Structure 1
């Protein structure tokens, strides 16, 4: 049987260099055995490590799988006539067999069996969760915040990072105020100094990873964070006033007319939905029978729709440039050319609303909703108009319709914020 001194060998240069980059300060190598096919088995005083060359051309690129010894329950060396493999036994199952296995030639079987025996003889029984949390072999436990090894994969962790660069596991809390990494359980963020409020990096609907700066989940579209109704700035829970526009958070009154930003944002929300419904469907090319007369009505209708869209687009451009009167003129032409388009009526209503022409705006909102009862922008904007006129019951009735139609939409989240800010109307 091989002695412990026989189990420490030089590794091929590429494997040795990549392993050296993963070693922690003061970490000592006890076993290092080259295997077959550009791979190696390594045991340190803190981890068991599988390292394997990907075979990516001239430049050696290695996959390294490290496991804290607290997560290793043993190892088994399995031999055959032409070789064998050593496989780690862990407290948690793995998805890839090769992440815990190193293959070796038959003439090295004694050394790998001795390595397996060494692990079996030196490892303690699995610790409880409470004991593991205090163990110096568990990832992230160090005198320097964030420095150590990942408790999931054993990779080396640099100081002050939030996620493991090898497996993606979260290893630090994320401050909801500044997005910086802070030790779990901190009372204050170590980056911005405010009272610590954790940012959850998973979407509450689909569970996918989301970033600190995201407003919507890129996978399912869920609205992730409240925004200021005036300027669209992401609101932090501790704010009394919006840091961008100064609007009081949680006030009894919502005044979307004090800035163009709110109305523009309503337009932008609508634009994401209007494109598909406004584009005319491709007309099939039909060769008429000899006796059939031309159908000018179809051409006339398409021409009218095209002209209406041109005026509507011009109106949106003028609205964005704060020329509301001119925008109203363009929207009125669009409505006259295509009176069955709910989007055009909604645009005209928003423009009337901007100039406080409430009676005319109400007529256009109702026309838009008579054509499309599920027009979220019209419902949201109409609720704002009622709210500003202190007709809170009507506002709530309209906004409740948004919650019923699309409870996961950005408009629905805005409605919830409005209702909460106005004391649950």
Structure 2
């Protein structure tokens, strides 16, 4: 954890500032805390593998004691397992290999782990395409002069990776520790990660961020009024908040959560200029190479869409139409989209679209508008992809999400 992040961290219970307890075991890499105990006026919290655990519930107290006693490896095992010894064993076995990938660790955690069914394929699903474009637009609008961004309930950091293109001061918050570990190891290693509960006061100073985003998660939060107020508290007067892929209570969803109608979400962010956007309309924008936050979608479009995006800000510049920036080089490593079964031959390969589950296919059906059911690639194109070379042919496949620019060691 970087020192600049520690300066904005606050106790979720008393609101107090936190300092490293130097009377017990602590380990730093330069000026970044890797394993330590943080103290305020009422509580103590562990930092485990660079991740601040801002709760005293569950296994957090055990992990704090292990860190204080000089057993950071034990604390990592405790937090990764979450009280499940089997999960802890599988996690430890998976990360023991220096060549382990994101996919290897996810597979080791078992089929019930959410990433196994969903986030492994995240970079090409329609939900992510829209969220990524919205974050890029908001990043241009509010992060140009600096400032922090936070990805709330951000899972294993897919959207955090996008935020990090606009600011080095990016924070990922989620309740599941092992997802945060995956983010710092693979998906968004430059971020700082905080393990905390979005149902209570957020453990950050007021006005600490310029951009706060919650993607595909707000409908699972029961205390929506509190979380929306906390998001507004974090961004102060000059920032922006966004909810992307917020389920619409008027439509069916495979895992609905506790959704609101579009007006219900929008009202939570008054008195800011708060607008609701049809996700279908935003996806059409993205596939056309743009993102338009200047329009106001009509109530019929919003009511008909299973999911909406909410953007709120006091800054007029947020609500603008922008072209999507053209790709400049390869950020990570190029790979064929994992949604495809690949049959290789000497001449090339045949790719066939295969969904990991029926629920995924139903929720992400819109990906059929840009991912062909079957296609053939010749050997020269495959060779370029395997070597992460951005040729004209590969760039065309990237634009269609048939090839993905993935984090190193992802799959």
Q: What TM-score, normalized to structure 1?
A: 0.22
More strand by share: 2
Structure with max Cα Rg: 1
More relative contact order in 1 or in 2 (CA 8 Å, sep 6+)? 2
Q: What TM-score, normalized to structure 2?
A: 0.23
